[in-house]
Structure 1
Amino acid sequence: MFNLRFTIQNLKSFLISIVVLLLLFWSVPTPTLAGNLSSAQNSPPLSLSLFPFSPSLFPPPFSLLPSTDSDEPVYQERVVHSPDGIGKFYLGREISQIMGHLGAAWLERPTRQFEEQPQELVNALHLKPTDVVADIGAGTGYFSFLISPLVPQGKVLAVDIQPEMLEIIETAKQEQQINNVEPVLGTDTNPNLEPASIDLALLVDAYHEFEYPKEMMQAIAAALKPNGRVILVEYRGENPFVPIKALHKMTQKQARKEMAAVGLVWQETMNFLPQQHVIVFGKKEAKES
């Protein structure tokens, strides 16, 4: 009887210790904004963990999950959040930290050709020579310059909110003597595009970093021509073995939910890339009177 009592008491102590450790784990203090930006600029989204199921892949306890109350504001901010996020949530998803201009080398890495197959992606866009393409979150202009030869009578609007990235694009443009790539400085809420001016908005591994995704996508939707498209390219959030930090990936379900919130209609999802979804959206058709 004594041994049984002793065993039960040890088991209770063990369970209490586990609960305490879990509470401590989910109580990591929120970094300052400066800390967020600093670490983001020096850290690419690659997950270096050999074990794919890192803690950031799992949601916090249910009491910390976003409420579905329709009276809640568009965004919720929480002290308890992933170290890879900014503590701001939109439709149940935590917004990731940005990769700043100090991480530009990651975008131009030589291994990107076989890791992501960017030329195959560009070929699958089915662009017309006269198309106007907005490369949203253009970074160093990696995709802008791949698209440029395919739209000789059109142009590429390389949109980014970081002036340092646009300086890189302008330098490369001058060196390569390319005339149909135009750097555009956007803001956190507006890509600064003219209404009904673009045939395609391409967002490659960028949307999940938008601090104001609803406002940005509303502005992008307004910039689309009547038959314009939005194409999201995001690492597959459904696959824990894709070696990218959890908040830098998106599931197709989440992407479709967020685009529907701004009136964009899903058209198709292509999965020909090794690790990324290619998700196509269009403008909602006007109702017949």
Structure 2
Amino acid sequence: MRSLTFWLSSFVFILAVSALQVHAQDEPYSAPLKELRYTYNQNHDPNGIGKFYLGREIARVMGHQGIRWLERPEREEEERLSKLIEGLDIESGMTVADIGAGSGVISVLLSEAVGPTGTVLAVDIQQEMLDALQAKCKFLDIDNVVPVLGTTKSPRLESGTVDLIVMVDVYHEFDFPFEMLQNISSALKPGGRVAFVEYRKEDPYVPIKEVHKMSEAQVKTEALVPAHGLQWVGTFRRLPRQHVVLFSKVE
């Protein structure tokens, strides 16, 4: 009886080890780790979605119904978008991506900066936004802006093709910031740059809802996750309400 019990125990142990080996080939802990990347809390900011990444609550996405706010006449005075373009050190002929392009306010400015030999990839996840952007470009006779319909996890840009990626007041709304930034980094050429333009959370006088602001420290915490292969290269601080935190892809 004892030998039979020993044999049965050994058989069960062998089966358990075999099962572990099979699961190991299928990356058994990858799914739980991905789930742990984000946390959820029902008690949250009403302007957020209750989903948190590295201590920050993700904000609600502005729908295409907000185009009028994006196009408000006083935006240049409030945000000095023209000065933003100057601070990005864009050269003629560059390929620049505008992530969360919306109705194309920033894309139009970028199209002038890259010149006729350059390209602006205007990425948004809402087709309605891209329709408005295309109508604007047609009206203004702009032909170097290419609309790209992205997803919540990827801008759908070809790997290693982009010189500069710009995100103006949008990164904090990404449902999947880790995945998006992973794909954004992949789209950059070696040495290519990515600019996080975010309302300064450090400044209580910036008249924007708190969940739609980001501190420079939080931007760095998320961008410098080793998997993204990015390094901080500087912060442009000459805008009235936003800071521009710049990173480059490690060559």
TM-score (normalised: structure 2): 0.84
Question: Identity over aligned residues, as a percent?
Answer: 51
Q: Structure 2: state its 5+ residue gaps.
A: 1-32
Superposed CA deviations along residues 164-212 of structure 1, whole A, max 9, x for unmatched, are: 0000011111111211000100000010000001000000000000000
1:130-169 aligned at under 5 Å gives the runs 130-151=93-114, 152-169=116-133
What displacement does 1:127 show?
1.1
Q: Does 1:242 align with 2:242?
A: no
What is the DSSP-based 3-state SS (H/G/I as helix, E as strand, rest coil) of the residue aligned with 2:222?
helix
State the distance in 1 between where 2:87 and 2:41 align.
39
Q: Does 1:273 align with 2:242?
A: no
The aligned residue for residue 22 of structure 2 is: none
State the distance in 2 between where 1:172 and 1:92 align.
38
| Of 73-82 and 179-188, the range deviating more from structure 2 | 73-82
The aligned residue for residue 282 of structure 1 is: 248
The aligned residue for residue 48 of structure 1 is: none
What displacement does 1:89 show?
0.2
What is the DSSP-based 3-state SS (H/G/I as helix, E as strand, rest coil) of the residue aligned with 1:159?
strand
State the distance in 2 between where 1:186 and 1:115 align.
28
State the distance in 1 between where 2:232 and 2:63 align.
30
State the distance in 2 between where 1:104 and 1:222 align.
30
Superposed CA deviations along residues 23-63 of structure 1, whole A, max 9, x for unmatched, are: xxxxxxxxxxxxxxxxxxxxxxxxxxxxxxxxxxxxxxxxx
What is the DSSP-based 3-state SS (H/G/I as helix, E as strand, rest coil) of the residue aligned with 2:192?
strand
1:216-255 aligned at under 5 Å gives the runs 216-255=180-219
The aligned residue for residue 177 of structure 2 is: 213
The answer on whether the counterparts of 2:87 and 2:236 sit within 8 Å (CA) in structure 1 is no
State the distance in 2 between where 1:126 and 1:270 align.
11
What displacement does 1:265 show?
1.0
Q: Does 1:258 align with 2:217?
A: no
1:76-155 aligned at under 5 Å gives the runs 76-151=39-114, 152-155=116-119
What is the DSSP-based 3-state SS (H/G/I as helix, E as strand, rest coil) of the residue aligned with 2:193?
strand
State the distance in 2 between where 1:72 and 1:217 align.
17
State the distance in 2 between where 1:181 and 1:94 align.
32
State the distance in 2 between where 1:116 and 1:76 align.
32
State the distance in 2 between where 1:124 and 1:259 align.
20
What displacement does 1:71 show?
9.6
**Matched residue type, 1:264:** L
State the distance in 1 between where 2:197 and 2:34 align.
31
1:35-74 aligned at under 5 Å gives the runs 73-74=36-37
RMSD, aligned CA? 1.3
**Matched residue type, 2:90:** L
What displacement does 1:84 show?
0.8
Superposed CA deviations along residues 83-140 of structure 1, whole A, max 9, x for unmatched, are: 1100000000000011110011111101101100001111221111110000000011
The aligned residue for residue 201 of structure 1 is: 165
TM-score (normalised: structure 1): 0.73
Superposed CA deviations along residues 254-286 of structure 1, whole A, max 9, x for unmatched, are: 00000011332111011100111011001124x
**Matched residue type, 1:272:** R
Q: Structure 1: state its 5+ residue gaps.
A: 1-69
What displacement does 1:149 show?
1.6
State the distance in 2 between where 1:143 and 1:98 align.
18
| Of 228-237 and 147-156, the range deviating more from structure 2 | 147-156
How many residues matched?
216
